[in-house]
Amino acid sequence: MAPPTTRACRPPSERHKISTWTMWRYFTYIIVCALLYSPLLNVRAQSTPATTVSTPPMGFVRIDIVGRSDNWISIPVLQPTAATGKVITGTANTVSVEGVAWVASQWAPPEMEDLSPHATFYLEFATGHLQGLTYKITGNSADTIVLDVGSDSLLSHRLGALAAGDLVRIRPYWTVGTAFSPTGASSLTPFAELPAEAQADGGDSLLLFDEETLKVNGLFGGALSNKTPSRRLVRVENTLTSSIPFWRSPGDTTSNRHGTILPPLSPVLVRRKNPAPLQFWLLGDAWQTRTVTYLAAGEANTPGNDNFVAIARSEPVALKDLQLIDSNAPSQSLFKGNLPGEGREDLILAFDVAPKGFERPPAYTYFYTLGQGWRELSSSELAGETLLDPARVYILRKRPASSSGDWTQNGIQP
């Protein structure tokens, strides 16, 4: 039997009708909002001496939050560009940019960034061998940016080396405060507004992963899981001003963590305590460059390693178009397929967003059979046309026999 249709995985014919209806229904609304609020969104136009004005392609996405449920989401659009430039030179963790005269520490993160309303910035490589990589900015001089590259090196990366002429962009991170607005339909419910029976466990909350937890090798789900969210922020009522969302860690009665950053395509678990469903739109720049996601294989003598992944689009993408399988050499692909009649190798696990409930396991399991194509575990039909929503989080489980590597998704060309 084929899996039931959901927004997480919907047959293309049915999803196309819904997308068309949604587009016409909200087209006027989105255009009006973009025109009225573009100054607030800090969308910067670039003009030439000939007064030609252009803006980067923009995308918008609807995110449905189910009441009294866990909702796995990711943000598939970007904050507007704050600055662009071309590389002159660089080191393992610095980039020097031509034609700029920045103020020292202009792009440095604020002190106690989780508590600050000021933006934290990252550098995006838009062209060259490093295209698609992003790194947090830790400081800058008049023309040089210092990056937190961890164990990477810009001069000897797996994808290649930094080069003069590479285009780079500076963007602010989405934060808990900017992504989950305190106004309009996107408001998550403060503690004080919850039904009495739900208040004992706090208001709506966000469960987040830190970078180190995401790097841990293991499986998600189950009592022995070592892939569990590392922090929880609860939405509480701000009695001082309604214009600033108030997010607190459990046990913290004073600090507002609304400045907590959400790295590009990072997993966010929205735990909606209120029974009412929630729907909101996010508007931002569409991905123009490719994106890079490192997929780590499982360690020896383990069932595998779960990688949380998301799709860098504002429209659904079919399984066959995820660029996980090399059409010229399927058996050499980063996503390891299985031979017909043999055990499953790498898997994609998808959550069903329709049923209510907390701590729900993934509902659908997709795999690739060499010589046949994509399939879903509970169906005998080919599944390559199955559409995956961009605002959702998926688990890509890599077996120990597969190889680790960088998964790239092509961006939208302007």
Q: What is the pLDDT along the chain (414 residues), one digit of tens a residue?
A: 444 444 444 443 333 333 333 333 334 344 434 433 343 333 333 333 333 334 667 777 888 899 999 999 999 999 999 999 999 999 999 999 999 999 999 999 998 877 777 899 999 999 999 999 999 999 999 999 999 999 999 999 999 999 999 999 999 999 988 888 655 445 677 666 666 656 666 678 899 998 888 888 999 886 557 788 989 988 877 666 555 667 888 777 778 888 999 999 999 999 998 888 888 788 889 888 899 999 999 999 988 999 999 998 878 999 999 999 998 899 999 999 999 999 999 999 999 988 889 999 999 999 999 999 999 999 989 999 999 998 999 999 999 989 999 999 987 654
Q: How much is the pTM? A: 0.83
- CA-nearest of 107, 122, 364, 365 to 266 is 122
Could you give the residue ranges of the DSSP H alpha helices within 109-179? Answer: 176-179
What is the rounded distance in angstroms from the CA atom of residue 270 to the CA atom of residue 330?
Answer: 36
How much is the pLDDT for 33?
A: 46
3-state secondary structure of 244: coil
Structure tokens at 373: 């194509």
Distances (CA, A) of 109 to 83, 119, 129, 261, 327: 16, 7, 27, 11, 43
What pLDDT, on the 0 to 100 scale, is given for residue 240? 60
Q: Which two tokens stand for residue 169?
A: 């962009």
Instruction: Enumerate long-range contacts of 135-141, CB under 8 Å, 24 or more apart.
Output: 136/109, 137/107, 137/108, 137/109, 137/170, 138/108, 138/109, 139/105, 139/107, 139/108, 140/102, 140/104, 140/105, 140/106, 140/107, 140/108, 141/102, 141/104
Identify the CA nearest to 384 among candidates 309, 321, 313, 325: 321
| Residue 252 structure tokens | 């913290």
CA atoms within 13 A on the CB side of 350: 28
For residue 235, give the nearest of 193, 257, 205 by alpha carbon.
205
Helix (H) or strand (E) holding 32: helix 12-41
Residue pair 85/98 in contact by the 8 Å Cβ criterion: yes
Query: How distant, in Å, are the alpha carbons of 176, 205, 211, 217 from that of 208?
Result: 10, 10, 10, 17
